[in-house]
Structure 1
Amino acid sequence: MDQGLAALLGATVGVLGTIAASMISSASTRRQWEGQARVEHAQWRRQLRRDAYSAFLAPAHEARSALKAAARALIGDRPDTAEADRRLRIAQDQLVLVQVAWASLAVEGPDSVERAAHSVHLALHSMHTTLLAWRDSVGAPDRNVRFVERHAVEVTMVSERLGSFTAEARAALA
């Protein structure tokens, strides 16, 4: 074989090898970047969900606390209706925040978390409605026994639903 032809063939093989190595390296780098982008996107989505779940839980707990305090103000021989009204207003403000946070959860999902949040919202709203009716019937001869009993059931229901929401949120983040 002619030395010139051998040199040309050798140079061609070298160039082709360099091009192939460059293409393989480029594809590998692109796959690595895509994988890293997927991981970062998943972390970002997880953080958005965590923030949305926390934004729901905080006012839900505040509303529950305010509603329980309103009930304590209504119990006894001399109910403190001014304190009950103050606590009911606080609860109402927190329920507005719960509603707003629930709307965010409807977008962030998943459905199981949104359903659990909706259940918490409904239970808190029911508890609030019961306390308003109790407040309006202060001084009844039966000492509002039916409202006291209903409130006790609703406190348990809200606690259970908050626990279910928290479990669903944790599962969604796992």
Structure 2
Amino acid sequence: MDQGLAALLGATVGVLGTVAASAISSGAARRQLEGQAKVEHAHWRRQLRRDAYSAFLAPANETRTALKSAGRALIGDASDVTEADHRLRIARDQLVLVQAAWAGLAIEGPDAVEHAAHSVHVALHSMHTTLLAWRDSLGAADRDVGLVERHAVEVTLVSERLGGFTAAARAALDGTDVPPDRRG
């Protein structure tokens, strides 16, 4: 083989090696950028979900607090209907926010969180309805003990459902499954 051909062959092998190394390097860089983009997207989605879950939980807790206060105002012979009505109006306004936030959860998901939020919303709405009926029955001779008992059960149910929502939201943010005993 003459020296010119050997030099040409050597240069060709060198160029092919350089092109191959460049292709491998650019492929690795592209995969690294794609991986980074996926991590950033997942972080962005987690933030959106966290904000949506908080936007639901805050008015849900405010609603529960207002409803419990309304119940306390109705207890006993010295019922404070004015205070109960005030708290029931606050609860009604907060329920509107709960409903709007629940709609956001239907988009953000996952289903376990949306279902848990729905069960909280239903329980809060039921508690509100029970208190309205209790308030309206205050003039009755029997003072509708059934509504008082129902309210006591609903206070516990709402707390359990809020706990279930919180567990479902935390599991969704952590990427784990919701424990069966905490599902709404």
Same fold (TM over 0.5): yes
Match status 1:35 vs 2:35: yes
Q: After TM superposition, where is structure 1 displaced by more than 2 Å over at least 4 residues in a row?
A: none
SS state of the match for residue 140, structure 1? coil
Whether 2:127 is the aligned partner of 1:110: answer no
* 1:133 alignment counterpart: 133
- How far apart, CA to CA, are the structure 1 residues paired with 2:11 and 2:112? 63
RMSD: 0.9
Matched AA of 1:118: H
Q: 1:47 maps to which residue? A: 47
125-134 vs 138-147, which moves further = 138-147
Match of 2:162 in 1: 162
Matches within 5 A, 1:91-110: 91-110=91-110
Match of 1:167, SS?
Answer: helix
Q: CA deviation at 1:143?
A: 2.7
Q: TM-score normalised to the size of structure 2? A: 0.92
Q: 1:51, CA displacement in angstroms?
A: 0.9
Question: Higher relative contact order by CA 8 Å / sep ≥ 6: 1 or 2?
Answer: 1
Task: Provide the secondary structure at the position in 1 that maps to 2:63.
Answer: helix
Q: Unaligned 5+ residue runs, structure 2?
A: 175-184
For residues 82 and 22 of structure 1, what CA distance do their matches in structure 2 show? 78
* Secondary structure, aligned partner of 1:170: helix
Normalised to the residue count of structure 1, the TM-score between the two structures is 0.97
- List per-residue Cα deviations over 1:121-146 (Å, max 9, x = no partner): 00000000011111111222223312
Residue identity over aligned pairs, in percent, reads 80
Distance across 1 between alignment mates of 2:143 and 2:10: 103
Unaligned runs of 5+ in 1: none
**1:49 Cα offset (Å):** 0.9
Distance (Å, rounded) in 1 between the aligned partners of 2:139 and 2:95: 27
Count of residues in Structure 1 that have an aligned counterpart in Structure 2: 174
- Alignment of structure 1 residues 3-152 onto 2, 5 Å: 3-152=3-152
Distance 1:12 1:147 in 2: 91
Q: Secondary structure at the match of 1:139?
A: coil
CA shift for structure 1 position 99:
0.3
